[in-house]
Structures are given as C-alpha cells and as structure tokens.
Amino acid sequence: MKRRLLLVAVAVIAVIAVVAGAWLGPTLIQNPGYVLIEIGGWRVQMSFVVLAGAVIGAWLLISLLIGLLRAPGRAVRRFRAARDRRNLDRGLLALSEGDWARAERALARAMKGPGASTSGYLAAARAAQGLAAPERRDQYLALADRRFGQRHFATALARARLLVGEGEPQAAIELLEQLHIKRPKHEGVLKLLLQSYQACDRWHDVRLLVPAIRKAGIVSGERAEELASLAAARELEAARDVAELTAAHDSMKRALKHRPEVVAAFAGRALELDRPELAEPDLRRAIEATFDPRLLGLYSQSDAGDRAVRIRKCEQWLADKPESADLHLALGRMYLDERDDDKAREHLEFAVRKSPNPAAYAALGQVLDRAGQLEPATQCYRNALRLEQGRAPEPLPPASAQSK
C-alpha cells in the first residue's frame, strides 16, 4: 500500500514538473535570469537555470550516494528477515507434525530476529510444553507478554489452553474466569471453561455457564437443555447431605427441576440419604407427565411413612393403565415391602409374564422364598441372572402358578 502511494506521488510530481517546464521553458530561454553568489573574495555568477540544474543534480548525486551506503545494511536485513520467515515456517510445520524438538529450535531461532511476534512465542511455548519443559514454556509466554508491556488476552488464553492440555484444569479455571469477565462471549474461553469445569466435577458452575454458552451460539437450544440437565443431575448426585441436596434443588429453575433425569437424580440421592419423602411430589408429577419406568422404579422405593400413599397413587394409575408391566412391578415391590405377599405375588407374576426383567424376577423370588417355595424361588433368581446376561428366562415350576 505504501509503495503504491509513493509511486502515485512520484507520478504526480513528474506531471507537475513537465507542466511547469512547458509553461516556464520559453520564458527562461528568453530571460534565463542572473544569480550572483559572493563569499569573501570569491564571486560566482550564473544563470538561474544553471543554478537550478546544479541543485537538482547535487540532490540526485547525494541521494544516490546515500542509497549505495545503505544498500549493504538493507540487504543484510532482507536476508535475516527471509531467514526468520523460513525458520518460522519450519517451526510451525514441525509443530503441526508433533515434532516438538525441531519446532522449538526453529521457532527459537526465528524469534531472535527483529521479526519476533507474539504468535511465534506462543507456538514456541506449545512446543516446549510438548517436550515437558514448563520453565522454557513460561519463558516464551513471558516474552509474548513483554511485547505488550502487560499480560495480553491472547497470551493468557494460550496459557490457560496449555494448562488444560497439561492436565491442570483447576489452575486454568482461575485464569479463564478472569478472561470470561473481560470477554463474556468469547467462544474459546467458554469452551475451555466448560471443559475445565467438567474435568473438576464443578457441575454447579457448568449449570450456571450453560446460558452463556447458548447465547454465544456454541450449542443449540436442545443441546443446552441436555447439558443443563446433565449438570443439574450430577450436582444433585454429588450432594453430601440433605441440606446441600435441598439447597441445590431449590436453586434450580422450575423447568429444569421437572426434567425426568433431574427428578431421577434428586430422588435417587434422597433415597441414599434415607429421605425418600423429599422427592415424592416431584416424582409423582413427573410420572403423571411422562410415565417413565425409571421414575416408577424410584417411586416404588419408599419407607413405611408414605408407602401407603404411594400404593394408592399407583393403584389409581393402574386403573387407567391396567396392562402396564412397570406399574405392576412397582406395586409388587411396595406390597413386598409391606409384607402383603399375596398382592405382591399377583402383581409380580403379571410383570414377569408381560415384560420379564431382572428386578421383577428377583422380587418374585423373594415372595416365593418367603412362602417356602424354594424351587420356584431359586428359578426366579436364576432367571434374573440370565436376563442380566442377555439370555432368555426359563419357565417356572408349576408350584409358582398357585397365586390364589
């Protein structure tokens, strides 16, 4: 661009000179003017045209001499710049091939010249990390920072990326959170932050980060909802006590709390903490909305305090869905816990006929075992194992058919 502007300027000056010469030429020929220069005892007299020609000639001669004197230095600089470019190209090519040693040597040589750049230092830092040389890596990063007089966003992001690649996500998080404050929509920062949070099992932070990821267009709306549900479920599963579980659950938006996977996580952790009643309302609403077998299984795992309420609710659902093997299984397991073996056996035998599964056979085996029918009980346990191994169940002995 500068060269073009210079050529345009020279062309304009040349045109002006030609026009001026054509306009002043006839006048100067008729009256060339008179110039007298007197210095001490020296006196020089000439026409104006001769003086102008002498000045222009002297200027051209001086310019030529200066150009000749500068030519060696310019040639050396061009040679060094070309050499640095070749080293930079070799270094970047070796870096892409994973040849860390060759990449660092070439990039280090390229950065010694006047063409040293931030990108070159960052590439050298990546090569040093590939060689497990954190000291040299930090030196290259410091040199990249020094070009700006302070830590620059690009070098800080590169530092965080190197930390993540080195298996230090916790250290990267501190740096990435600062960068996120500066540029909330930066795609690279958001992706690294999400990766680091997941690596450190900081699911609460993942859940809070999802809106920013969605707003930045990194994931679709559907994928963002799935990610938020996963984070919420993992957060609930990691709760250490009832207080932490309820606090995490209360902090979630209503739509998120009602997603089946989140309801299942909350109910599962509440069961592990011996507080199944905490999740009963959410489980009931979710089952009525989706009739998820997994949620029905959790609903059937209750204590004596609210088991009767859950049984009545399942009986109401069964009136609308009498052929549901999952409902029969849930009722059979709850009646088993209530020690109502006759009703438990009725529902469980329907469940294994309608949709055989290991849980139904295992529960039926307990009922038969409790009734003293050891042979069919043993066969139920075997069928549960066979189904878990992907094999078909075997028929039960005739004694198990006496359900009345």
Q: How many domains does the chain have?
A: 1
DSSP string, 270-302: HHHTT-GGGGHHHHHHHHHHH--HHHHHHHT--
DSSP string, 304-355: TTTHHHHHHHHHHHHHH-TT-HHHHHHHHHHHHHTT-HHHHHHHHHHHHHHS
Condensed to tens digits (0 to 9), the pLDDT of residues 181-220 reads: 888 989 999 999 999 999 999 999 999 999 999 998 888 8
Residue 144 in any domain: the answer is yes
Provide the residue range defining the domain that includes 145.
78-150
Contact, 179 vs 157, CB < 8 A?
Answer: yes
Helix (H) or strand (E) holding 31: none
Residue where the block lists tokens 């040199």: 143
Residue 234 in any domain: the answer is no
Condensed to tens digits (0 to 9), the pLDDT of residues 219-255 reads: 888 999 999 999 999 999 999 999 999 999 999 999 9
pLDDT value for 205: 94
Residue 98 in any domain: the answer is yes
Residue 327 in any domain: the answer is no
Residue 70 in any domain: the answer is no
pLDDT value for 190: 93
Residue 23 in any domain: the answer is no
Residue 209 in any domain: the answer is no
Q: What pairing do the DSSP bridges indicate for beta strands 35-39 and 42-46?
A: antiparallel
Question: From the centroid of its chain, how far is CA 46?
Answer: 81
Residue 142 in any domain: the answer is yes
pLDDT value for 400: 45
Regions in the chain scoring below 50 on pLDDT: 149-150, 400-404
**Alpha-carbon span 111 to 189, nearest angstrom:** 27
End-to-end CA distance of the chain: 98
